Amino acid sequence: MPGANVLTDRIESHLAAEARRRSGAMTEDLREFVGMPTFSGYPEGLDAFRDVLRRRLEALGARVELVPGAPRPDWLWGGAAGGPPPPTLVARGPAPRCEAGLGERKRLLLSGHLDTVHPPQSPFRSLVISGSRATGPGCVDMKGGLVIALHALSLLKDAGEEIAWSMILNSDEETGSYHSEAALREQARAHDAGLVFEPALPNGGLVVERMGSGQFVLECAGRAAHVGRDFASGISAVTTMALAIVKVSEMSDPAAGRIVNIGPVEGGTGTNVVPDRARAWGNVRFSSPAQADALGAMLDALSTPENSIPGVKVRRSFNRPAKPRTPAVEAMASAARAVSEALGRELPFGVTGGVCDGNILQDAGLATLDTLGARGGGLHTPEEWVDLDSLPERAALVAVLMRRLAGGPE
């Protein structure tokens, strides 16, 4: 369509220009956010950061609610976290006035996570700027994305644009979103399009398709015995586990969309005792519900009858379903590309085996774009970095995209 990839009116041009003017303010926000440690297992830091965002969202006119977190399965690697599960913040933007002619406005759900993988005692703890590049814990995953989301909302508010939006912020994305999954699903059902602020692909691109992910554990039972005096009466749980692991290793078929990884493992209490207990944790990735079912069935088939020795018990939780490239996602991605090109930057599309909360939102029925955050790299490492220029660029992209997506029936 000729002229599709240009800014279409005065308000879009204003949003783009105003985003550029706010570049310094966005960097300062990022400095503040990155300076607050929010490791997944550090509730004090998460609570403090959640308060900061609550105030920012209330200043945008939102009503904020904290939804209590649900417990996570205690068999997961790392066990159940100590203390109460963290709450999930749900902010509801001011309702647009129902004027005649507004038509059916689409309700947009912005989604992000507060937690990072960087422990608070790490020496990697603040934003260090060098030209247009900065390093810092969580700078791109995803505090840069949170800055982008807040400024996009602020740009729209200051331009007088009335858009129906909510924002959901959890504190356990890096550990699987078990505490927040129910809240994510509830909000997904109440909205028409989802925008997640995970980092862009290294080339600045948008992920349009993701594999799903699941966790499992093999709990193996044997019979303990003294190695020297009574070896023959022992049954090794570690050997049982090893045999099961060999079978698991044969389940992977990346070309077919199935990946299985095992580790960590544990078993035994000493070298002179036949071990009666062993466990192996693992992670599966799958390209479709059919591959998830196939993997689930293969894992379940390793189970032995209750209380048998040797015995294998399989526990699993495939809580992040695959996120396919649906027609609705395709339409949103094309809309994002049109805006990006109008702002002067190409927007390539990509596919990844990585998962995020977009997997959960889309599984609950919400068409979702999930890499609208900052450009950068070194995710989950002490070299994590962000391209500071991407903050105003992406804030403009998101503000214009939100306005177009919300615009009512086509």
Which residue's CB is nearer to Zn ion, number 93 or number 112? Answer: 112
- Cα–Cα dist 46/35, whole Å: 12
Q: Which residue is nearest to Zn ion (CB)?
A: 141
Please name the residue that has the structure tokens 């030209």: 131
> What is the footprint of Zn ion within residues 185-214 (CB under 5 A)?
198
Which residue's CB is nearer to Zn ion, number 200 or number 260? Answer: 200
Contact 133, 375 (CB under 8 A): no
Please name the residue that has the structure tokens 């078929």: 253
Sole window of 28-36, 135-143, 158-166, 336-344 interacting with Zn ion (rule: CB under 5 A): 135-143
| The only residue of 12, 115, 141, 357 in contact with Zn ion, by rule CB under 5 A | 141
- Cα–Cα dist 207/372, whole Å: 9
Number of residues located near Zn ion, criterion CB under 5 A? 3
Which residue's CB is nearer to Zn ion, number 67 or number 356? Answer: 356
Please name the residue that has the structure tokens 């800055």: 147
> What is the footprint of Zn ion within residues 275-294 (CB under 5 A)?
none
Residues 6+ apart with CB under 8 A from 32: 52
Q: Does 370 bind Zn ion (CB under 5 A)?
A: no
Which residue's CB is nearer to Zn ion, number 29 or number 141? Answer: 141
What minimum distance in Å lies between the beta carbon of 4 and Zn ion?
Answer: 31
Q: Which two tokens stand for residue 239?
A: 């050997």
> What is the footprint of Zn ion within residues 1-40 (CB under 5 A)?
none
Sole window of 140-148, 152-160, 179-187, 224-232 interacting with Zn ion (rule: CB under 5 A): 140-148
Q: Does 142 bind Zn ion (CB under 5 A)?
A: yes
CB atoms within 10 A of CB 304: 16
What minimum distance in Å lies between the beta carbon of 35 and Zn ion?
Answer: 18
Which residue's CB is nearer to Zn ion, number 240 or number 371? Answer: 371
What minimum distance in Å lies between the beta carbon of 150 and Zn ion?
Answer: 16
What minimum distance in Å lies between the beta carbon of 17 and Zn ion?
Answer: 30
What minimum distance in Å lies between the beta carbon of 350 and Zn ion?
Answer: 16
Which residue's CB is nearer to Zn ion, number 92 or number 179? Answer: 179
Which residue's CB is nearer to Zn ion, number 198 or number 393? Answer: 198
- Number of C-alpha atoms within 13 angstroms, CB side, residue 73? 13
What minimum distance in Å lies between the beta carbon of 275 and Zn ion?
Answer: 38
Task: Measure Cα distances from 336 to 239, 340, 395 in Å.
Answer: 53, 6, 12
User: Residue 375 in 3-state DSSP?
Assistant: coil
Which residue's CB is nearer to Zn ion, number 141 or number 384? Answer: 141
Mode of pairing for the β-strands spanning 349-352 and 206-210: parallel
Q: Which two tokens stand for residue 116?
A: 């990072």
Sole window of 133-141, 212-220, 244-252, 357-365 interacting with Zn ion (rule: CB under 5 A): 133-141
What minimum distance in Å lies between the beta carbon of 138 and Zn ion?
Answer: 8
What minimum distance in Å lies between the beta carbon of 204 and Zn ion?
Answer: 17
- Cα–Cα dist 387/135, whole Å: 9
Contact residues: Zn ion, CB under 5 A: 141-142, 198
